[in-house]
Amino acid sequence: MLTTISLAPLIGSEIQADRKTLLDGSAAPEIRRLLQERGVLVFRKVNFNDEEQLTFTRTLGTPDEQGGYGRLFKITLDKRENPGAEILKGTFFWHIDGTTSDVPALASLLSARRLSPTGGQTEWANTYAAYDALSEADKQAIERLKVVHDQEAAQRMVYPEPTLAQVLSWRKYPQKTHPLVWHHQNGRKSLVVGSTTFYVEGMSLRDSCELLTRLREWATQRQFVYQHEWSVGDLVIWDNTGTMHRALMYAADSGRLMHRTGLAGEESLA
Ligand code: OGA
Ligand code: MN
């Protein structure tokens, strides 16, 4: 049994466990259960190095190999540290990772290596809880809607007046159509909204924009959100299928550096 402390009623638990228990995998089944139940799990100052973070990741499922840089991805806006840093400005807006694939990542693990002096907190919203709290009328109205997701939609938030070259570069990510309501294999339902939503199929652009904005605003109300104030050495895991997240603004030259690993998705977004 792990010691857990609830961080907010609807989302987030801190887990207190010694490093050995985390690394030998004996707590993995319980961590997986808690992850689905609580959305976000915080391991304060666990201070894993890269190898340990990868080992811990492997105890929980299949590591996601798509991340680049081997299986450990540097989350920083500093181009010297990550030449692909530009696209990470999209992390300032509410999103679900991997919505331009059919099987989004099951979970992501982020550890803090260097902090920004200001900003740089991370927030998560529980999209299961947000769906559950909708009115019956809303639930019925959105039950069968499908939404086109596009990296372009997310990047337009960073660059509202892009060059054509930018628009074309965003198109190397495929466009994907997903249901607005994810019917999970566990029988629960969650909202699939956030910055990659382009438009609702078969709806006028205005109505689509209104609905997607309303649902994103709904899902990110305080009662569904946990905000993490990082310390160096903290590790946070989130259920990427039942939460969305964003980083609060920090400067590209702030020095902020996070190391991310991920668990490959186990169910398609359906
Ligand atoms: C991510 C992400 C947020 C952060 O790594 O997918 O969105 O706070 N990170 O860096
Ligand atoms: Mn992300």
SS3 content of the chain, % helix, strand, coil (to 5): 30, 25, 45
Print burial letters for 113-131: b (CB count within 10 Å at least 16), e (below 16): bebbeeebbbbbbbbbbbb
* pLDDT at residue number 100: 87
* pLDDT at residue number 102: 86
| Helix or strand (DSSP H, E) at 153 | helix 151-158
- Asked if pLDDT for residue 64 goes beyond 90, the answer is no
Name the pLDDT band for 69 (thresholds 50, 70, 90).
very low
Mean pLDDT of 19-31: 97
Q: What are phi and psi of 153, to 5 degrees?
A: -60, -45
Q: How many residues does the chain have?
A: 270
Q: Whose CA is nearest to atom 1 of ligand 1?
A: 91
Decide whether any atom of ligand 1 lies within 6 Å of the 263 Cβ: no
Give bridge partners of residue 108 from the DSSP assignment. Answer: 238, 262
* pLDDT at residue number 72: 87
Name the pLDDT band for 227 (thresholds 50, 70, 90).
very high
* Average pLDDT in the chain: 95
Position 65, amino acid: E
Query: DSSP code of 63?
Result: B
Pocket test for ligand 1, best of 66, 73, 91 (most atoms within 8 A of CB): 91
Neighbours of ion ligand 2 (CB under 5 A): 97
Radius of gyration over alpha carbons of the chain, in Å?
A: 18
- Asked if pLDDT for residue 38 goes beyond 90, the answer is yes
Q: Which of 267, 251, 264 is nearest to 61 (CA)?
A: 264
Mean pLDDT of 41-55: 97
* pLDDT at residue number 66: 65
Q: What are phi and psi of 199, to 5 degrees?
A: -165, 160
- Given the CA of residue 248, which atom of ligand 1 is nearest to it? 8
* pLDDT at residue number 36: 96
Token output for 185: 């294999």
* pLDDT at residue number 71: 78
Name the pLDDT band for 67 (thresholds 50, 70, 90).
low
Q: Is the distance from CB of 152 to CB of 198 less than 8 angstroms?
A: yes
